Amino acid sequence: MQLACIRLSISVESLDCLTVACTYQAPTRKSVQTFKRETRMKKSIIAIAVSSAALASVSAYAAEGSTVDVYGNIQYAYADKDAGGNFEDNGSTIGLKGETKINDDLTAFFKYEIEFDADQKEGSSGENKADLDQAFVGLQGNFGKVQIGTFDTNYNNAIQDAVDQYEYLGFTNAAKTSEGDTIAYFSPSVNGFEVQAAVQVKGEASETNTNTNANGDKSSSMMVVKYSTGIVSAALGYDSRANTADAEATTGLAITVTPLENLSVTAKYETTEDTQDILGLAARYGYGAGDVYASYQNVDPDAAGSDDFNEYAAGVTYSLASNIYVFGEVGKFENATNSDTDTQTAVGVYYGF
C-alpha cells in the first residue's frame, strides 16, 4: 500500500495553522531517517511558537504597568580596632521592589528589604537573624511622592549622609527619630526648591510607650527644605523627636558645593537641644574607577565633665565591575571622657545583584 501524503494540522495560540506534509514511497532506512528528522524539526517549530505565545502574554501583562524586581547584595568587611580584628557582614540585604501604573498621572510603588548577617552560619542566641531594613508603599505623580512604612528618615538623608559617607566606619550623628511607623511626603522640585515632611505615628500600645519613656505614645515630626542652584545646594532639616524619652529636638544644616562634575565638598552643622553640637566637613572625588573620600568632625557634648572631641577618616573604592567594588578605610576617633584615640581600619567587598 502506498500513501500519497499525510496532512497534520495543530492549533497553537498565536498560530493560525501549522501543516506537516511528507510523501511515503518505500520503507527504506533513508526515508525513515528523513521523516524522523523532519518530525523533530516540526516539533521544534511548535515549541518555539508556544514559547513565543507565552512571552507575548508576559509582555502584555507588563504593558499593563506592573513590574516587580528582585535585588540584593552581599557585603563583607575585615575591620581592625583597638578592641581587635574581626571578619564580619557589612550590611548584606535582599529585597523586592515594584510599581503599578494606575493611570497616566499616578503610579503606586512598594519596597520590601531584609538585612541579614552573611559572615557566619551560627552565633549566639539572637544573632545572625534576618531583620527588616526597609518596607513601604506609596503613590507618585505630578504632586510629588507620598509613602508610608519603614525607611531612612528624610533628615538623615539630607543632613547626615554626606559627612557620614563610609562603607564600614561610622561617625557620630545628632540624635534623630527612629525608623518605622512613618508617613512621608516628598515634593517635586520647583525653581530649585524641594520640601520633605514626615511624621512618625505612635500610640498607647506602641513598643516605645514604656515606663522609662513618658513620651512613647506621641508623634514625632520631621521637615527638610532643600534648595539647589548651579554648583551649590543647601538643606535645612528639623526633627522634633517628640516621642523620645528626652524629647529634645535636632536641627541641622548641610551645604554642598560641586566645583567639578566629579568633586563635591560638604559642610554640616547639627545641634540637639541640651545634648551636643556637631560641626563636620567632607569631600568626595570620583577618579573614574571609584571614589576617594574623607571627612572631619568636631563633636561638642553639653554634658558636664565631657570635652569636645574630633573624628577623622578617609577611604577609597575601586570598581571591578558595575556591580562589584572593593574598599579600604582608615579613621581616628577620639572620645568625650578621656584622651584615648581609637584607630580603626577596614577593607571589604560589595557584590550587588
The three-state DSSP-derived secondary structure of 59-85 is HHHHHCCEEEEEEEEEEEEEEEECCEE
Judge if 47 and 96 occupy the same domain. no
Q: Are residues 100 and 21 in the same domain?
A: no
Clarify whether residues 155 and 222 are in a common domain: yes
**Residue 328 and residue 343: Cα distance in Å, rounded?**
14
31 plus 114 within the same structural domain = no
Q: Are residues 243 and 339 in the same domain?
A: yes
**What residues make up the domain containing 36?**
6-57
63 falls within a domain: no
More confident site: 14 or 163 = 163
Q: Does residue 33 sit in the same domain as residue 145?
A: no
Predicted pLDDT of residue 210: 82
Query: Is position 115 within any domain?
Result: yes
Residue 256 has pLDDT above 90, yes or no: yes
Query: Has residue 141 been placed in a domain?
Result: yes
Share of the chain above pLDDT 90, in %: 70
Q: What are the grid coordinates assigned to 247, written together? A: 524629647
pLDDT, tens digit (0-9, with 9 covering 90-100), for 130-148: 899 999 999 999 999 999 9
Cell (9 digits) for 194? 524641594
H/E stretch holding 37: helix 29-63
Q: Same domain for 30 and 118? A: no
Verify that 196 and 331 share a domain, yes or no. Answer: yes
Residue 305 is predicted with a pLDDT of: 85
Query: What's the rounded mean pLDDT across residues 186-209?
Result: 92
pLDDT over 70 for what percent of the chain? 80
Q: Across residues 179-192, what is the average pLDDT? A: 96
Alpha carbon of residue 37 to chain centroid = 53
Mean pLDDT calculated for residue range 107-129 = 82
Q: Tens of pLDDT along 290-325? A: 999 999 999 999 998 889 999 999 999 999 999 999
Within a domain: 166: yes
What type of residue is 154? N
Average pLDDT over residues 202-231: 89
Same domain as 26, residue 150: no
**Which pLDDT band holds residue 17 (cuts at 50, 70, 90)?**
very low
Domain count, the chain: 2
Whether residues 290 and 321 fall in one domain: yes
- Spatial distance between the Cα atoms of 344 and 114, rounded to a whole number of angstroms: 28
53: in domain: yes
What CA–CA distance (Å, rounded) separates 348 from 88? 9
pLDDT at 25 over 70: no
Angle at 68 between CA 62 and CA 74, to 5 degrees: 145
**Cα(186)–Cα(199) distance, integer angstroms:** 12
Q: Is residue 91 scored above 90 in pLDDT? A: yes
User: In this predicted model, which residue has the larger pLDDT, 229 or 51?
Assistant: 229
247 CB contacts (<8 Å, ≥6 apart)? 215, 218, 240, 241
Bridge partners of 331, per DSSP, are 313, 344
pLDDT of 125 higher than 80: no
Which one-letter DSSP state was computed for residue 187? P
What CATH number is attached to the domain comprising 135?
Answer: 2.40.160.10
Q: What is the pLDDT of residue 22?
A: 35
pLDDT > 90? residue 184: yes
What backbone torsions phi and psi does residue 43 show, to the nearest 5 degrees? -65, -40
User: Per the domain annotation, does 1 fall within a domain?
Assistant: no
Provide the pLDDT for residue 339.
81
- Domain for residue 65, yes or no? no
Helix H or strand E segment including 345: strand 342-352
Mean pLDDT, residues 110-120: 93
Most confident of the ranges 120-129, 132-141, 210-219:
132-141
The CA distance from 85 to 117, in Å, is 17
Assess contact for 335 and 326: CB atoms under 8 A: no
Q: What is the pTM of this model?
A: 0.78
Kindly tell me if the per-residue pLDDT of 64 is higher than 80.
no
How much is the average pLDDT of 83-91? 95
The closest alpha carbon to 277, from 245, 305, 237, 309, belongs to 309
Residues 82 and 42 in one domain: no
281 within domain boundaries: yes
In terms of Cβ atoms closer than 10 Å to its own Cβ (0-12, 13-18, 19+), residue 315 is buried
Closest CA to 174 of 98, 77, 279: 279
94 and 26: one domain? no
SS3 212: coil
